[in-house]
């Protein structure tokens, strides 16, 4: 019985290990590896599947104050936003970057200057010189 099993598989093994069978086997293995690599590449590079693309499209959360409706709060803005931006509440192009006053906790428009004075309590905020329309980059992790 053991002899018959060896005899059945023996011809195929000999064909794979010699001559044309060896060449065909190598070509089939290379094609399978190529197809698997191509499928993996396509899967990882599908439009919208990348985490970095999703983060970029979601934007980043900024505090803002609207000059039109006086609304303030936090909202997601695209990374390449130019201020004034569209206000999430009134949809007017009047939203500017803002921060909370350290003294009275009310929202103040970030003018981008080195010194910002709160219009509510006259507290002086000394801020690093930074353009008003460019928020600081996100932290690297």
Write out pLDDT tens, residues 119-130. 889 988 877 654
Which residue range(s) make up the domain with 83? 59-126
Write out pLDDT tens, residues 16-58. 888 888 899 999 999 999 999 998 888 777 655 567 777 777 7
The mean-pLDDT minimum among 33-37, 98-102, 109-113, 131-135 falls in 131-135
pLDDT value of position 32: 96
Q: Which residues contact 62 (CB under 8 A, 6 or more apart)?
A: 74, 75, 76, 77, 97, 135
Directed axis angle between helix 19-44 and helix 2-17, to 10°?
70
Q: Are residues 35 and 76 in the same domain?
A: no
Q: Are residues 64 and 121 in the same domain?
A: yes
pTM over 0.75: no
User: Which tokens sit at 125?
Assistant: 């905020």
In the numeric block, the tokens 């000999």 are attached to: 14
Q: What percent of the chain has pLDDT over 90?
A: 21
Q: Is residue 78 part of a domain?
A: yes
Q: Are residues 37 and 94 in the same domain?
A: no
φ, ψ of residue 57 in degrees (nearest 5): -70, -30
Three-state DSSP class for 119?
coil
Contacts of 120-126 spanning 24+ positions with Cβ under 8 A: 125/99, 125/101
Q: Are residues 21 and 75 in the same domain?
A: no
Mean pLDDT of the chain: 80
Comparison of pLDDT for 85 and 127, the residue scoring more: 85
Q: Is residue 50 part of a domain?
A: no
Q: Are residues 68 and 38 in the same domain?
A: no
């Amino acid at each position: 019985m053991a002899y018959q099993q060896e005899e059945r598989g023996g011809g195929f093994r000999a064909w794979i290990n010699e001559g044309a069978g060896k060449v065909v086997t190598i070509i089939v293995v290379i094609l399978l590896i190529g197809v698997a690599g191509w499928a993996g590449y396509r899967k990882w590079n599908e439009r919208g599947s990348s985490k970095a693309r999703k983060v970029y499209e979601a934007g980043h959360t900024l505090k803002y104050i609207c000059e039109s409706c006086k609304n303030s709060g936090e909202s997601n803005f695209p990374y390449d936003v130019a201020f004034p931006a569209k206000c999430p509440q009134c949809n007017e192009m009047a939203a500017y970057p803002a921060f909370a006053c350290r003294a009275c906790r009310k929202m103040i428009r970030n003018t981008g200057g080195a010194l910002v004075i709160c219009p509510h309590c006259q507290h002086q905020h000394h801020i690093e010189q930074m353009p008003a329309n460019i928020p600081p980059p996100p932290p690297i992790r």
